[in-house]
Chain A
Amino acid sequence: MHGYMGKILRINLTEGTVKTEPLDLEVGQKYLGSRGFGVKVMMDEVPANVDPLSEENKFIIATGALTGAPVPTSGRYMVITKSPLTGTIAIANSGGHWGPNFKATGHDAIIFEGKSEKPVYIYIEDDKVEIRDASHIWGKKISEVTEILEKEDGKVKVLSIGPAGEKLSPIAAVMNDMDRAAGRGGVGAVMGSKNLKAVVVKGSNKVSLFDEERTKKVSQEKVKILREDPVAGGGLPSYGSAVLVNIINESGVLPVKNFQGSYTDKADLISGETMTEKHLVKKSACYRCPIACGRVVKLADGTVVGGPEYETVWSYGADCDVYDYDAINEANLLCNEYGLDTISAGATIAAAMELYQRGYIKDEDIAEDGLSLNWGDAEAIVGWTKKMGLREGFGDRLAEGSYILAEAYGAPELSMTVKKQELPAYDPRGVQGHGITYAVNNRGGCHIKGYMISPEILGYPEKLDRLSLEGKAAYAKTFHDLTAVIDSIGVCVFSTFGLGLSDYVDMYNAVCGDIYDDETLLEAGERIWNLEKLFNLREGIDSTHDKLPKRLLEEPVVDGPTEGHVHHLDKLLPEYYEVRGWDEKGIPTEETLERLGLEEYKEYLGLAK
């Protein structure tokens, strides 16, 4: 078996049992691995409508066929479960070094079932798999857990949840290698609900290659493309992902104050250029990554820590009207330490600030916390993040995410979410195609599973008119399917700044065997997207949930270059369903399922009316 290790771990935390099962290679190849594999397991093994935080939910950690293989950006793994935030499928991806090291233990994936009575962590060293007592690390922050387990177990890689996950915050992340996050969908809370604190790995196996020489040649070729690409080899390593702050702002699509504004004249204070000039200590790279977009920054007190991504710089910055890099760096560190999704955490504070601005949240609600909800309060974004991580005071309410908070105050429309998940750092009123991704994303509000900013603003792979609707639905569909491929084979979506579909075919085939061509690999991505859609339909998340916050559809942008525009979802959505081969209600047709080899799931179409 090439690419895949051929073994799956099934760990039942209720029974305290560990089983090793063979990977069905046919399934592995059909669903590629990682994201595709996990969605298939969730569909086949988890009954409909389980409570995401109950022992009936499963929690899957999976690698792709290329994870750990000697090809560029192969450091990725995926967490797949049912989301406690959205009720949809949760698919959260992370880089760093944990994924390839887990795969080196000789396993492709772990399926966690049940719930442990007491806190435990898992130790995996090749075939040795132990469920160990975690009472000494429960309650500890990520850096503490990592240091303790590294001290106990030597050269290991640590994946863990922080206090936020233990305390079941639906915006809690799963962290690995200290500051890498499988961030979205509240996957950390599912891990916490199972009393599972950490997974520690040490492996000595290599990924078997179908054609070693060809893999080497293909890899060298792709590394060269990435190094020579002006973004992957230039802009991203030089400035990090926060290089986007200025371009997104200059385009008038940088959401300010919870999407009340779309432009700020203070953006340069929190730009990638400013981070590089004033705060950057060095770059950091994930496993086998020639891009190295990661940042290491210095805090105001001189401490050196993992730096923020663009999304975090926005959520804690412009979205809260804060333009203080020291505070943003500090809030980012706290999210990493307590295990919170930086997008949802920052954006929830922004929503709370608007709820306060409009008089929903009263002074007495937050009097005991000693923190304000005033726009631009840099001290407050740090203070609230800590309280969210510990679920203390009003921070306990914020830790539920912006939708539950805003709904409780009778103003759910002030939660800038789709399917209850906080939207990221682009105002779709000025990037019409990107709004499709927000609305239809199977995991709720998210930018990365079909990054239309690339063609609509950055000019990759070509430049589209960002305000035009024409052809955007079909373009978005292709991006959604391609991203499902990239996630599922186990490489980084940032590699698309340089690589295209054929490059992924080259890498997959060299490692796994001549299985795919351009058309069939993209179709595998389409299969995965459709299976996720079926999962959501089964859970009652139908297309009435494919919508955007009212503000983005009805209130024209008030400032900057996009002034006067709204998002035209009503025109784009029917076209998207059509190009997907779905009916007008957004349900896949029988023919579409047959074309994609998903006949076995036809029964779920009947449930989705």
Chain B
Amino acid sequence: MIKVEVRLFAYFREGRGKKQVMELEEGTTILEVLEKLSIDKEEAKIVLLNGMDGPLDRELKDDDVLSLFPPVGGG
């Protein structure tokens, strides 16, 4: 098992909180985490794995930090 910190932002926090520490099977992908959280992959416009863009098929490692954002913008 691995431990991954998932940080949620904007309306992704509704019903999910700001942060979840998830215990996952080794080999779990980012997409599978989205599914566990009931977040549509189309809605997850910005997915950061340890601060860098994370491809959805990427397998997570122990202590990874996943930051999930719906579409946001400003300036």
A447: interface (CB < 8 Å): yes
Q: Which residues of B contact A251 (CB under 8 A)?
A: 48, 51
Q: How far is the CB of A309 from chain B (nearest CB, A)?
A: 8
B46 touches A561 (CB 8 A): no
Chain A at the B interface: SS class: helix
For A, the interface residue count at a CB cutoff of 8 angstroms equals: 46
B15-52, CB under 8 A of A: which get 1 and which 0?
00010000000000000000000000001011010111
- The CA of A458 and the CA of B48, in the complex, are separated in Å by 11
Q: Which residues of B contact A447 (CB under 8 A)?
A: 75
Task: From B67, B71, B75, name the one whose CB has the most chain A CB atoms within 10 angstroms.
Answer: B75
B53 touches A242 (CB 8 A): no
A361: interface (CB < 8 Å): no
Q: Which residues of A contact B53 (CB under 8 A)?
A: 463, 465-466
Q: Which residues of B contact A457 (CB under 8 A)?
A: 46
State which residues 57-75 of B face A: CB under 8 Å: 67, 69-75
- Among the stretches A231-239, A411-419, A499-507, the one at the interface with B is A231-239
- The CA of A263 and the CA of B51, in the complex, are separated in Å by 10
Q: Which residues of A contact B67 (CB under 8 A)?
A: 246-247, 250
Residue from A243, A268, A311, A561 within 8 A of B72 (CB atoms): A243
Residue from B10, B43, B51 within 8 A of A273 (CB atoms): B10
B73 touches A454 (CB 8 A): yes
Q: Which residues of A contact B51 (CB under 8 A)?
A: 250-252, 263, 560-562
A238 touches B45 (CB 8 A): no
Q: Which residues of A contact B73 (CB under 8 A)?
A: 231-232, 235-236, 243-244, 454, 458, 460, 494, 497
Q: Which residues of B contact A494 (CB under 8 A)?
A: 73-75
- The CA of A252 and the CA of B48, in the complex, are separated in Å by 11
A401: interface (CB < 8 Å): no
A373: interface (CB < 8 Å): no
Q: How far is the CB of B46 from chain A (nearest CB, A)?
A: 6
Q: Which residues of A contact B43 (CB under 8 A)?
A: 230
A235 touches B75 (CB 8 A): no
A597: interface (CB < 8 Å): no
A459: interface (CB < 8 Å): yes
Q: Which residues of B contact A244 (CB under 8 A)?
A: 72-75
Given contacts A458-B46, A459-B46, A560-B51, contact A250 B75 (CB under 8 A): no
B7: interface (CB < 8 Å): yes
- The CA of A229 and the CA of B72, in the complex, are separated in Å by 10
- The CA of A240 and the CA of B74, in the complex, are separated in Å by 7
A210: interface (CB < 8 Å): no
Given contacts A239-B10, A247-B46, contact A268 B18 (CB under 8 A): yes
A247 touches B72 (CB 8 A): yes
- The CA of A15 and the CA of B51, in the complex, are separated in Å by 60
B50 touches A561 (CB 8 A): yes
Given contacts A231-B72, A453-B75, A493-B75, contact A273 B50 (CB under 8 A): no
* Contacts between the two chains (Cβ within 8 Å), count: 95
State which residues 218-271 of A face B: CB under 8 Å: 229-232, 234-236, 238-244, 246-247, 250-252, 263, 268, 271
A293: interface (CB < 8 Å): yes
Contact residues on B (Cβ < 8 Å of other chain), bracket = 20 to 34
B45 touches A459 (CB 8 A): yes
Given contacts A250-B48, A459-B46, contact A273 B13 (CB under 8 A): yes
- The CA of A273 and the CA of B75, in the complex, are separated in Å by 16
Q: How far is the CB of B43 from chain A (nearest CB, A)?
A: 8
- The CA of A361 and the CA of B63, in the complex, are separated in Å by 42
A404: interface (CB < 8 Å): no
Q: Which residues of A contact B18 (CB under 8 A)?
A: 268
Given contacts A268-B18, A463-B53, contact A458 B72 (CB under 8 A): yes
Task: Using CB atoms, name the residue of chain B closest to A563.
Answer: B51
A360: interface (CB < 8 Å): no
Task: Using CB atoms, name the residue of chain B closest to A229.
Answer: B71
- The CA of A244 and the CA of B43, in the complex, are separated in Å by 17
Q: Which residues of B contact A493 (CB under 8 A)?
A: 75
Task: From B7, B10, B72, name the one whose CB has the most chain A CB atoms within 10 angstroms.
Answer: B72
Task: Using CB atoms, name the residue of chain A closest to B11.
Answer: A238
- The CA of A273 and the CA of B13, in the complex, are separated in Å by 9
A250 touches B7 (CB 8 A): yes
Task: Using CB atoms, name the residue of chain A closest to B19.
Answer: A268
- The CA of A454 and the CA of B74, in the complex, are separated in Å by 9
Q: How far is the CB of B74 from chain A (nearest CB, A)?
A: 3
Q: How far is the CB of A192 from chain B (nearest CB, A)?
A: 27
- The CA of A195 and the CA of B38, in the complex, are separated in Å by 60
Given contacts A235-B10, A239-B10, contact A247 B70 (CB under 8 A): no
A242 touches B74 (CB 8 A): yes
Task: Using CB atoms, name the residue of chain A closest to B18.
Answer: A268
- The CA of A239 and the CA of B69, in the complex, are separated in Å by 13
Q: Which residues of B contact A230 (CB under 8 A)?
A: 43, 45, 70-71
- The CA of A599 and the CA of B45, in the complex, are separated in Å by 45
- The CA of A238 and the CA of B71, in the complex, are separated in Å by 12
- The CA of A465 and the CA of B69, in the complex, are separated in Å by 17
Given contacts A273-B13, A561-B51, contact A234 B46 (CB under 8 A): no
Q: Can you list 16 residue pairs at the A/B interface with Cβ under 8 Å?
A: A229-B71, A235-B71, A235-B73, A236-B74, A239-B72, A241-B74, A241-B75, A247-B9, A251-B51, A272-B74, A458-B46, A458-B71, A460-B73, A463-B53, A493-B75, A561-B51
Give residues in A with beta carbon < 8 Å to B. 229-232, 234-236, 238-244, 246-247, 250-252, 263, 268, 271-273, 293, 309-311, 447-448, 451, 453-454, 457-460, 463, 465-466, 493-494, 497, 560-562
Closest 8 pairs (CB-CB, A-B): A561-B51, A241-B74, A230-B71, A231-B73, A235-B72, A250-B67, A244-B74, A497-B73
